[in-house]
Amino acid sequence: MSTITRFAPSPTGRLHVGNIRTALHNWMLAKKNGGSFILRIDDTDAMRSREEHVDAIRADLTWLGLDWDREERQQDRLDRYEDAFRALKAAGRIYPCYETAQELEVKRKIQLGRGLPPIYDRASFGLSAAERASKEAGGTPAHWRFLLDHGEPITWDDGIRGPQKFDPAQLSDPVIRRADGSWLYMMPSAVDDIDMGITQVLRGEDHVSNTAVQIQIFTALFAAGFAATESAAKKIPVFAHEALLVGREGKLSKRLGSLGCDAFREREIEPEAIIALLARLGTSMPVEPIADRTTLVESFDLSTFGRAPAKFDEQDLERLNAAIVHQLSYEAVRTRLPEGMDEAGWHAIRPNLANIGEANEWWQLVTGPVSQPEFTADDRAYLAAAATMLAWGGDPWQQLTHALKEATGRKGRALFLPLRQALTGMDHGPDMAELLPLIGETEARTRLERAAGG
């Protein structure tokens, strides 16, 4: 069976780094196995979903290079959820409930006060038909819960966490439909996974208990005769739950909830750096500045994922970004470079960049003007000699420094630093052998003469 994965964001906000990691790993899982990656917009919450967020999700995934094979929208699939609802209702696996949110909160607090888990007590499940009719006649709208089967444990072999076992009696019957008729996450997600032939679900470990519930929903739907087609395999997806991201301090961070593609773009972080970091974060594989996604995909393996929280460090990302930038070809970046910078210019300044935005600052060393420091009398005389000895040939920097060394006896820092300061205004920077030809003979001589006081 071909591997089919999905990324299913709710368009109630922008993608953050945790969402991006989930999307990336599902994309890699599909690519590794020659399968399909589906973008599924989980927009059943019509009150909170926004079309601008849908557009932003698409734009962010595109910027990251995470292409999807097809897109699905839950709002286009409401009829299928009605079909599933009727099938489960006919099978006796869903029931109406009439408690208000306030009443449920009071029950929860009482249970917690007694040291008990806050599990729904199935009070509405025990109502008679007459009692239900009375509730509805009194204007109390029903919401609907899925009836968990307490007969046997829920088990599955998790792709990361290994064998899992849940006692369904320790779980609340989940609400699958609100009193206003709108859908919650649990049932529509299972219906979509069936219809779309999802073979593997890779998501955060905060969904582990949801998976236990959804496995029973899958089983109940299949038992009720619900399937994508009569010939479709009634098979539950393989589940894997990865450890959540934590901040540098080792705790879940609000910062991670707001750190998304806009923030990365503002800091001029390359998509390749984000991918290289998140691809292996939380695994036993080394995080390396690998810009080639094929290499990352080929090494992707769920068996390398650990159970410990994955620590996301923005400083690590910045270091990785610099290393990625140092690998980028001129063709990959030329439209983002300052006017006039050619391939030689890119090659000269690239090793000094933390991000591509810094290219403007470094390119000014070529285009000028540069601000020179105050020089001693000895250095001014030395720079005057340099202006005279400057000759243009195959390697003007080597020719100049060799001639000055022979004429003045200077070497090391005393030989090189005044020249760099006069020509660039800086104590450090790109390789002068590459930079000097870009500055040009006339401008280089002018800068040397100005530094000499000429």
Residues 12 and 222: their CA atoms lie apart, in Å, by 31
Which amino acid, residue 9? P
Dihedral over alpha carbons 345, 65, 241, 313 (to 10 degrees): 30
Cα distances (angstroms) measured from residue 125 to each of 39, 96, 121, 129, 191: 37, 7, 9, 10, 24
Helices (H), 281-395: 293-299, 314-325, 330-333, 343-349, 359-367, 377-389
Which amino acid, residue 199? T
Residue that has been written with the tokens 């994508």 in this structure? 228
Tokens describing residue 102: 């306030």
HEC assignment per residue over 179-227? CCCCECCHHHHHHHHHHCCCCEEEEEHHHHHHHHHHHHHHHHHHHCCCC
Using a CB cutoff of 8 Å and minimum separation of 24, what contacts does 98-103 make? 98/124, 98/127, 98/132, 98/135, 98/140, 98/141, 98/142, 98/143, 99/123, 99/124
| 3-state SS, residue 453 | coil
254 labelled ligand-binding? yes
Residues in the annotated binding site: 254
Residues in the annotated binding site for ATP: 254
